[in-house]
Amino acid sequence: MECDDFSPFGFSRVLKGMLAIGVEQGVAVASWRLPDGEDVEVLVDLSYSPDKKNLQMQPHLSGFVIGPFMNTGGLCHLLKPDIRLVWQQKRWTITSDFGEEAAVFFRRLRGWLTVKNNQSPTGWQVSPAPERLIETGKKKYKQGVSQGLTQIEQGHLEKVVLSRQKRVSLQAGSHPVDVYKTRLKRNRSGMISLLSVPDLGTWCGASPELLISRDGQGICRTMALAGTRRSALQPWSQKEWNEQEVVAGYIRDCLDRLRLTNIQESKPETVTAYDMVHIQTRFQVDGSDNPHDELPFRLLKQLHPTPAVCGVERQAALDFILAQEASSRQLYAGYLGPIQEDGAVDLYVNLRCMQFRKKSAVLYAGAGVVRGSVPSDEWRETEMKMETMVEILAK
């Protein structure tokens, strides 16, 4: 069903209105576009609950999944699809049935849109959790990398990913939807997402990394992604190939533990993710004999968090991260994406992301530490990732 009442207001204004109404009513909103897709989807959960779900026990649910980084038990948030819309060919279309609650939401949205220059002072959800951001400077970060290298030399770790955060003040009039729109225009290869959820806050990400997917035929896919550079012209170093093999080997072990067969593994290849390049190895599992079972969520429990965002051995890497990183990752390096009633799953690692506060954005980035890492190089990698986000915020 077309939303003729909303289409004339365009993409940004309608989405800003949804976020503003969401703040007033405690409603959760998620929007995303899958890699190389054309349509931008929006899901609204009108009765959001912070209770978490075990998807492995309830594989037939549908909605939008949000899993934090610290989530090894398989529990995650699931936004219910009370309203689903899609922005395609410069028109809004409702793609779900809706009842009276949704009709009330649409009436309030229409009222918000018809007020000229409507700017809510709290136009997006801000996490109610006390803010304990401690920015890690260059010296401290390099010390953390050095300590990681010591743990690797002593045989306690094979790899660990250290992240840091940076706060950037928002320009007057800046809005998360404007940042989201810029990312949609500039990045075709990533999973671009915008979340505004009462207890989680507002996040915008552009992830190059698929965690787990399943298509309508039951084929499950995942990937190993490592190495980060600005240009594909230089050959990858042995350190970067080693880092990639650590991630790929971890995925092989996870698949072996589940005793899966019919596994296909691609050769490592260089892939471009907007303005950076990575090494990627793709894995595919044929689950076509039962495309509606819990296989993607069994894989999810095994894979998350992967060495691409955590490390090997996993528990030792988690312990090191908790001891070294000054602030909680929250949703950074967690996972998110839609799941459908027909069994389709598209979950991505939440990377290249930022969390919006009232007057600032907190940027998140990390770098992998393996044997041969150089602390100053890992610092530069996090700077490179953040520079792209700073540039987008300045638009």
Give per-residue pLDDT as tens, 88-120.
999 999 887 778 899 899 999 999 998 866 666
Alpha helices by DSSP H, the chain: 10-25, 100-114, 138-153, 176-186, 238-257, 295-303, 314-324, 375-393
**pLDDT-derived band at 217, boundaries 50, 70, 90:** confident
CATH number of the CATH domain containing 371: 3.60.120.10
Is 171 among the domain residues?
A: yes
Q: Are residues 265 and 310 in the same domain?
A: yes
Lowest mean pLDDT segment, chosen from 149-163, 167-181, 232-246: 232-246
Kindly state the tokens that stand for 35: 């890699």
Provide the 3-class DSSP secondary structure of residue 349. Answer: strand
Share above pLDDT 70 across residues of the chain, in percent, rounded to a whole number: 96
Question: In angstroms, rounded to a whole number, what is the distance separating the alpha carbons of residues 81 and 343?
Answer: 15
Q: Are residues 88 and 145 in the same domain?
A: no
Output the average pLDDT for the chain.
91
Q: What is the pLDDT of residue 140?
A: 96
Q: Are residues 275 and 309 in the same domain?
A: yes
Output the CA torsion sign for 184, 186, 192, 195.
negative
Of 80, 114, 148, the domain-final residue: 114
Burial category of 326 from C-beta neighbours within 10 Å (exposed 0-12, middle 13-18, buried 19 and up): middle
Is 251 among the domain residues?
A: yes
Q: Are residues 83 and 199 in the same domain?
A: no
322-343: average pLDDT: 94
Q: What is the pLDDT of residue 313?
A: 92
Question: In angstroms, rounded to a whole number, what is the distance separating the alpha carbons of residues 283 and 265?
Answer: 5
Q: What is the pLDDT of residue 143?
A: 97
pTM above the 0.85 mark?
A: yes
Q: What is the pLDDT of residue 289?
A: 76
Q: What is the pLDDT of residue 349?
A: 98
CA distances from 6 to 2, 14, 98, 195 (A): 9, 7, 16, 21
Q: Are residues 358 and 276 in the same domain?
A: yes
Question: In angstroms, rounded to a whole number, what is the distance separating the alpha carbons of residues 97 and 250?
Answer: 42
Q: Are residues 90 and 154 in the same domain?
A: no
Q: What is the pLDDT of residue 261?
A: 83
**pLDDT-derived band at 296, boundaries 50, 70, 90:** very high
Q: Are residues 169 and 313 in the same domain?
A: yes
* Dihedral class, residue 275 (left if φ above 0, else alpha if ψ from -120 to 50, else beta): alpha
Q: What is the pLDDT of residue 231?
A: 77
Is 333 among the domain residues?
A: yes
Is 16 among the domain residues?
A: yes
Q: Are residues 83 and 168 in the same domain?
A: no
29-44: average pLDDT: 96
Is 128 among the domain residues?
A: no
Q: Are residues 106 and 146 in the same domain?
A: no
Number of domains in the chain: 2
- Give me the amino acid identity at 22: G
Is 225 among the domain residues?
A: yes
* Dihedral class, residue 337 (left if φ above 0, else alpha if ψ from -120 to 50, else beta): left
Q: Are residues 90 and 174 in the same domain?
A: no
The yes-or-no verdict on residue 2 having pLDDT over 70 is: no
The yes-or-no verdict on residue 130 having pLDDT over 90 is: no
Q: Are residues 171 and 72 in the same domain?
A: no
Q: What is the pLDDT of residue 116?
A: 66
Kindly state the tokens that stand for 254: 């996870």
Q: Are residues 16 and 87 in the same domain?
A: yes
Residue 92 is part of which domain span?
Answer: 7-114
Is 149 among the domain residues?
A: yes
**pLDDT-derived band at 189, boundaries 50, 70, 90:** confident
Is 107 among the domain residues?
A: yes
Provide the 3-class DSSP secondary structure of residue 334. Answer: coil
